[in-house]
């Protein structure tokens, strides 16, 4: 029971953190949002942001699961951080970087959605938002 309560508190705290980061982005506090994101990578996943950024998208799940023993929960956290990072890059008009983060985020969310086999309306909505943003960026690039 205590472990379940702990996990629920951690999930709630992570949600609060992401909402705070998105709030900073909407307020154009980009440096603070970037600092919070970098701290979140270290705190939640024990690696800095650049570690995850260097992994090619086609190797992402395999590398993290096989080589680093990440769980589905880790991957969902990383998907959320990538989504926040993509939103930050988009707000800074760095569309190429933003697209890369959106694509990695979507890949991880889809993987978790398929492998978890648990329904999450919030996850599905996030995935749809990411797909729309990817299409928007790709259309702007043409």
pTM of the model: 0.92
Domain ranges across the chain: 2-141
Band (pLDDT 50/70/90 cuts) for residue 2 is low
Band (pLDDT 50/70/90 cuts) for residue 11 is confident
Res 142 pLDDT > 90 = no
DSSP calls for 39-93: HHHHHHHSS-HHHHHTS-GGGHHHIIIIIT---HHHHHHHHHHHHHHHHHHHHTT
Alpha carbons within 13 A on the beta-carbon side of 103: 17
Give 19-62 pLDDT, tens digit per residue: 999 999 999 999 999 999 999 999 989 999 999 999 999 999 99
């Amino acid at each position: 029971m205590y472990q379940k309560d702990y996990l629920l508190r951690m999930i709630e705290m992570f949600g609060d953190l992401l909402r705070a980061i998105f709030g900073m982005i909407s307020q154009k506090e980009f440096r603070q949002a970037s600092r919070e994101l970098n701290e979140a990578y270290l705190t939640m996943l024990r690696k800095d942001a650049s570690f995850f950024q260097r992994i090619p998208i086609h190797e992402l799940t395999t590398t993290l699961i096989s080589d680093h023993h990440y769980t589905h929960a880790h991957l969902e956290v990383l998907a959320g951080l990538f989504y926040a990072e993509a939103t930050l890059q988009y707000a800074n008009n760095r569309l190429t970087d933003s697209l890369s983060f959106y694509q990695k985020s979507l890949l991880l969310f889809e993987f978790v959605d398929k492998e978890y086999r648990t329904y999450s309306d919030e996850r599905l909505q996030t995935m749809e938002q990411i797909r729309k943003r990817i299409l928007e960026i790709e259309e702007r690039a043409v």
